[in-house]
Structure 1
């Protein structure tokens, strides 16, 4: 985890005490039938207008996401360099009306060998295709920075993080993640207080 933290610091150009643990889970293959996710950006919905998309893409990202494959895999598809521009007319048509399309212009299937990691901005156009016949166990995570504030909260708290507040969860973390974990809980408390003030 220490090497990953160093890589994240380099990508985001921050110090370790600015890191914020956000998401860490395991992606596995389905057992009974193949499964696919639609083309999407994690923080911008498909129905977003061009004008709003431009504004959303101007917001500094304050984080990075990654997949670390424990077995060889080819589940992730991306459109390179789409994370910092508005969708083309064809990309918009696909994300809104044909989101499982296998004909996305410029799509790239990411080939990971066991032990390899790919880092990406979660505003990149991406989707996943899981085969029941291909063994998959991939660590999937994102870490942000404390400077992201509400922008990161909006992105990560949609998943619900109450279970992470339990002390038994904190005890599962390596010591190097205590600081990033505490930063996340601090942000969650700040967002909760703001929501209470608004009501």
Structure 2
């Protein structure tokens, strides 16, 4: 059983916490209509209310760690809304992490407290892919001072590397690093389908 399963089976948002979260998400949705043109909050809220406690809990974790989740897409095939971390910079509560568990265990000293892949799994969200990161950047200007780990292709990871992205000079850059590296200005962004 992974950590998320253990946590979500013992932690559930109270009615008050759920209501507060929904108000935060609605206010953000209405403030940032450019992120989701043609979508209506009533439909998103109905979907959230159907989704169950795990999805709301995951959204609350995205919020708690500074991700400022907002709707950035809708899948017409499944009816799912896609929430993505839309904080201006990489979420503060998810920085100073290496890429994954293997990288964390490979460090002999000065280990970070966690890894991006493990944190995302614990929260019940997915790390953004490079393609998703680039799509997010079409909606605004993100990570102008920070950077974010993104899902790394297996062939790069097998060689010990991992990739991250940021935005500088009005351009999205993709870089590489050893997966075990971590920096105070690098975190990760995630998404959740509801």
Query: Could you state the TM-score of these two structures normalised by the residue count of structure 1?
Result: 0.27
Greater gyration radius: 1
Which protein has greater RCO, CA pairs closer than 8 Å, 6+ apart? 1
